[in-house]
A and B are shown apart, each in its own frame.
Chain A
């Protein structure tokens, strides 16, 4: 819990409005793209917070920068590339699929598929070993099930 406490202390050590009114773009389409982009970028001076949620001055600078690039008609991809070239892969909350993150993206689904396949494969002997009752067993069952007089 101490970490949570620390985290909260850091979060709240700064004024508490993330996106400021003066940052918002006039064009609602561009603004919603800006919000979507900033939700995927890490605030580098905060604990596990996106720049969209963060109140840190650095996050504000980044938000404004993204909006300037959007107004300059750049694509989302171009803007992300630019941000990464400046701040490194660490800034991306959704890590790109590369050699070192292949395991990260792949393993949850690999685990599901392999375990699912293993279960399916093992199911067969279960069903096969179940033999039908013999006639003697049936008679025994009938006797047991009949209420005694």
Chain B
């Protein structure tokens, strides 16, 4: 019964999406306030209905209602509650319902918090948002319905893949989807602005917080996925340039460009067209990512051709929205006048370079991800594009960007003096260079990447701090005056410092694990030990392991350093029944200086065990950096100017003297 209610709510939500799309759009065209006022309640009702459907599906999972096919295929009554809940989005149908839920949540949020928006703009934004909801609700109802019943109902479900029963992965999809789908708001604002033919500073002030929010969730979502891969896949890698990863990385790159260029529109009324285009591109890449992951085209072009229903549907949605938005852009672009002028060397100029490099880097990822698909469907030739390609194309493009990051904030708007900006950075540059030289002195024979990369990371970190110190005038005035400057700083300013510093920290982590990872592949018998990066790791023995649905063995390790006990680690080998799937659980000892990472392998003929031991120096900085970037986003969102809303265009002045 509850599943049917959910199904019914989903179809009602579809009907509500039609209302939310059609009436306000027509109303805005006819300047009919009644019709325009339909938009906000429609968005909220649509969200409520989708939330009801989602809750019904979750209920089916929690009570293990195996008469629902989706639950039967993806759940099991013996699963812990957390994984019953996360099982809802651990499959295609459920994850699409989550997608639509987040989409309608953003719609409702715009309806709720958008009171300071002009009614026309608000109703158009919500109408576009409704049209996206309409397309994806149709997709769910027609091709991916999660509420289909089974008769007779099976006794027990098939269960969720055991390695996915992991806390980091349970919350990875909601974060990632919030990021993906959050970019729809910027898209809707852009399409609405194109229909109106008006983009101004106020528009940018409305768009930026939404994009920032989406960017923050994308950042954390990507970091969670990478962290999961790091400790669950068992060979210490953290990024694989896998198409699924690239699908989330591309919108992140463009969203990063967008949150920068929106500042230029807000402060200087320039780059308006480019910002509109960028927000269309950002959401388009989200759609492309959804297509790549959901259509099965990545597994094989042939599998896609055999069962194309879902893929073709999403491809259709893709073409309508991307094509439609770009056509509208082409028609309306000439109407939108370019605004403020600026010299090449200026804050605006720096942000243009930022956008240029981010977009080119995104293009490299895009081409590398899609080229093999295109080539195979056109010529039948199969090629592989793997990490070496991305390192050689993405790397050289992103490197100059990282070098320029600290310089940008020192440049003034409109026209800047580069030499004075660089003068203020000399201390940061000198310290970063010193750091690089220190690395060179310690690791003389390492790869060239290490000293250069660490210097770069330090330059990012110290450069951001230098800019912060400059704002507080730390060395020039008294502490109390600096303190009052600090409390007076807008949140977005501190947010920027944090985000840039977080980037520097992440870069150092990436460089350290790439250049200095220590790896030992050995055979150990119980009682034998090996030295890993100053740790003595002793294999103390193994015990048989019996879990709910697996058997295996647990290897125990004693870790000491200079004779003193540091920790005990265990690494497990599990064999799941039925199916005989093998998994490993990594033994992980984390410190800020690096992670000791112990993996037990197969039993060898001589009675020993194959072991893989890593020391991954500074690797946690990668995720620490992502968390700091997220925190920067929060501070930036707390900025007062987003709460009080954008200044109203001064209509009164033109209306008042009419008498």
A24's nearest neighbour on chain B, judged by CB, is B521
Which of A11, A42, A115, A116 is within 8 Å of B384, CB to CB?
A42
Give the segment of A64-72, A95-103, A135-143 that binds chain B: A95-103
What mask results when residues 90 to 133 of chain A are scored 1 for a CB within 8 Å of chain B, else 0? 11111100001101110111011001100110010011011000
| Interface assignment of A79: CB less than 8 Å from any CB of chain B | no
Residues of the B chain whose Cβ atoms lie less than 8 Å from the Cβ of A38: none
| Interface assignment of B601: CB less than 8 Å from any CB of chain A | yes
What mask results when residues 225 to 256 of chain B are scored 1 for a CB within 8 Å of chain A, else 0? 10000001111010010111000000000000
Contacts between chains A and B (CB distance < 8 A), count: 169
The reply to whether A100 and B375 contact each other, CB–CB distance below 8 Å, is yes
| Interface assignment of B360: CB less than 8 Å from any CB of chain A | yes
Residues of the B chain whose Cβ atoms lie less than 8 Å from the Cβ of A101: 371, 383
Residues of the A chain whose Cβ atoms lie less than 8 Å from the Cβ of B341: 126-127, 129-130
The reply to whether A115 and B356 contact each other, CB–CB distance below 8 Å, is yes
Interface centre among A14, A18, A90, A104 (most CB of B within 10 A): A104
The reply to whether B233 and A20 contact each other, CB–CB distance below 8 Å, is no
Give the segment of B90-98, B329-337, B503-511 that binds chain A: B90-98
The reply to whether B392 and A48 contact each other, CB–CB distance below 8 Å, is no
The reply to whether A4 and B244 contact each other, CB–CB distance below 8 Å, is yes
Q: What's the Cα separation between A7 and B341 when bound, in Å?
A: 50
Chief secondary structure at chain A's binding surface: helix
Which of A1, A20, A93 is within 8 Å of B385, CB to CB?
A93
B243's nearest neighbour on chain A, judged by CB, is A48
Give, as a whole number of angstroms, the nearest-CB distance from B232 to chain A.
Answer: 8
Q: What's the Cα separation between A50 and B237 when bound, in Å?
A: 12
| Interface assignment of B426: CB less than 8 Å from any CB of chain A | no
Q: What's the Cα separation between A119 and B425 when bound, in Å?
A: 27
The reply to whether B344 and A123 contact each other, CB–CB distance below 8 Å, is yes
Interface centre among A3, A126, A130 (most CB of B within 10 A): A3
Residues of the B chain whose Cβ atoms lie less than 8 Å from the Cβ of A90: 382-384
Q: What's the Cα separation between A13 and B237 when bound, in Å?
A: 18
Residues of the B chain whose Cβ atoms lie less than 8 Å from the Cβ of A24: 521
Give, as a whole number of angstroms, the nearest-CB distance from B366 to chain A.
Answer: 9
Which of B344, B363, B582 is within 8 Å of A13, CB to CB?
B582
The reply to whether B388 and A40 contact each other, CB–CB distance below 8 Å, is yes
Residues of the A chain whose Cβ atoms lie less than 8 Å from the Cβ of B92: 2
Give, as a whole number of angstroms, the nearest-CB distance from A7 to chain B.
Answer: 7
Residues of the A chain whose Cβ atoms lie less than 8 Å from the Cβ of B242: 7, 47-48
A92's nearest neighbour on chain B, judged by CB, is B384
| Interface assignment of A62: CB less than 8 Å from any CB of chain B | no
Which B residues between 389 and 404 are near A, CB-CB below 8 angstroms? 389, 392-394, 397
The reply to whether B298 and A17 contact each other, CB–CB distance below 8 Å, is no
Asked if A95 meets B385 with Cβ closer than 8 Å, knowing A4-B244, A16-B583, A107-B367, the reply is yes
Which of A21, A95, A105 is within 8 Å of B523, CB to CB?
A21
Give, as a whole number of angstroms, the nearest-CB distance from B164 to chain A.
Answer: 6
Q: What's the Cα separation between A19 and B611 when bound, in Å?
A: 10
Residues of the B chain whose Cβ atoms lie less than 8 Å from the Cβ of A130: 341
Q: How many residues of A contact B (CB 8 A)?
A: 57
Residues of the B chain whose Cβ atoms lie less than 8 Å from the Cβ of A92: 383-384
Residues of the A chain whose Cβ atoms lie less than 8 Å from the Cβ of B379: 100
Q: What's the Cα separation between A7 and B298 when bound, in Å?
A: 11
Give, as a whole number of angstroms, the nearest-CB distance from A41 to chain B.
Answer: 9
Which of B232, B385, B521, B601 is within 8 Å of A104, CB to CB?
B385
Q: What's the Cα separation between A108 and B390 when bound, in Å?
A: 10
What mask results when residues 284 to 324 of chain B are scored 1 for a CB within 8 Å of chain A, else 0? 00000000011010110000000000000000000000000
Q: What's the Cα separation between A7 and B161 when bound, in Å?
A: 11
The reply to whether A53 and B385 contact each other, CB–CB distance below 8 Å, is no
What mask results when residues 544 to 588 of chain B are scored 1 for a CB within 8 Å of chain A, else 0? 000000000000000000000000000001000000011110000
What mask results when residues 7 to 44 of chain A are scored 1 for a CB within 8 Å of chain B, else 0? 11101111111111110100000000000000110100
| Interface assignment of A76: CB less than 8 Å from any CB of chain B | no
| Interface assignment of B359: CB less than 8 Å from any CB of chain A | yes
The reply to whether A111 and B161 contact each other, CB–CB distance below 8 Å, is no
Residues of the A chain whose Cβ atoms lie less than 8 Å from the Cβ of B172: 1
Give, as a whole number of angstroms, the nearest-CB distance from B228 to chain A.
Answer: 9
Q: How many residues of B contact A (CB 8 A)?
A: 70
The reply to whether A1 and B363 contact each other, CB–CB distance below 8 Å, is no
| Interface assignment of B449: CB less than 8 Å from any CB of chain A | no
Asked if A3 meets B371 with Cβ closer than 8 Å, knowing A17-B602, A119-B356, the reply is no
Give, as a whole number of angstroms, the nearest-CB distance from A59 to chain B.
Answer: 12
Q: What's the Cα separation between A105 and B392 when bound, in Å?
A: 9
A9's nearest neighbour on chain B, judged by CB, is B161
| Interface assignment of A6: CB less than 8 Å from any CB of chain B | yes
| Interface assignment of B163: CB less than 8 Å from any CB of chain A | yes
| Interface assignment of B89: CB less than 8 Å from any CB of chain A | yes
Q: What's the Cα separation between A118 and B359 when bound, in Å?
A: 14
| Interface assignment of B119: CB less than 8 Å from any CB of chain A | no
Asked if A3 meets B293 with Cβ closer than 8 Å, knowing A9-B161, A12-B583, A104-B368, the reply is yes
Residues of the A chain whose Cβ atoms lie less than 8 Å from the Cβ of B602: 15, 17, 20
Q: What's the Cα separation between A22 and B95 when bound, in Å?
A: 44
| Interface assignment of B522: CB less than 8 Å from any CB of chain A | yes
The reply to whether A11 and B233 contact each other, CB–CB distance below 8 Å, is yes
| Interface assignment of A5: CB less than 8 Å from any CB of chain B | yes
The reply to whether A107 and B235 contact each other, CB–CB distance below 8 Å, is no
| Interface assignment of B364: CB less than 8 Å from any CB of chain A | yes
A111's nearest neighbour on chain B, judged by CB, is B363
What mask results when residues 587 to 619 of chain B are scored 1 for a CB within 8 Å of chain A, else 0? 000000000000101101000001110000000
Q: What's the Cα separation between A92 and B389 when bound, in Å?
A: 10
| Interface assignment of A88: CB less than 8 Å from any CB of chain B | yes
| Interface assignment of B386: CB less than 8 Å from any CB of chain A | yes
The reply to whether A95 and B384 contact each other, CB–CB distance below 8 Å, is yes
Give, as a whole number of angstroms, the nearest-CB distance from A31 to chain B.
Answer: 10
Q: What's the Cα separation between A49 and B384 when bound, in Å?
A: 10
Asked if A2 meets B385 with Cβ closer than 8 Å, knowing A112-B357, A119-B356, the reply is no
Residues of the B chain whose Cβ atoms lie less than 8 Å from the Cβ of A12: 163, 233-234, 581-584
Asked if A127 meets B385 with Cβ closer than 8 Å, knowing A16-B601, A112-B357, the reply is no
15 extra interface residue pairs, beta carbon distance < 8 Å, beyond A4-B293, A109-B397, A115-B360? A1-B89, A3-B299, A17-B611, A39-B388, A40-B386, A53-B235, A53-B237, A88-B382, A93-B385, A107-B363, A108-B361, A109-B393, A126-B341, A126-B343, A127-B343
Chain B residues within CB distance 8 Å of chain A: 89-92, 95, 161, 163-164, 172-173, 225, 232-235, 237, 240, 242-244, 293-294, 296, 298-299, 341-344, 352, 356-357, 359-361, 363-364, 367-368, 371, 375, 379, 381-389, 392-394, 397, 521-523, 573, 581-584, 599, 601-602, 604, 610-612
Return the 4 tightest CB-CB contacts between A and B, nearest first: A93-B386, A17-B601, A94-B388, A108-B364
**16 sample A-B contacts, Cβ–Cβ < 8 Å, listed by A number:** A2-B91, A4-B293, A9-B161, A12-B582, A16-B582, A47-B299, A50-B387, A53-B237, A92-B384, A95-B389, A100-B375, A101-B371, A103-B371, A104-B389, A108-B364, A119-B356
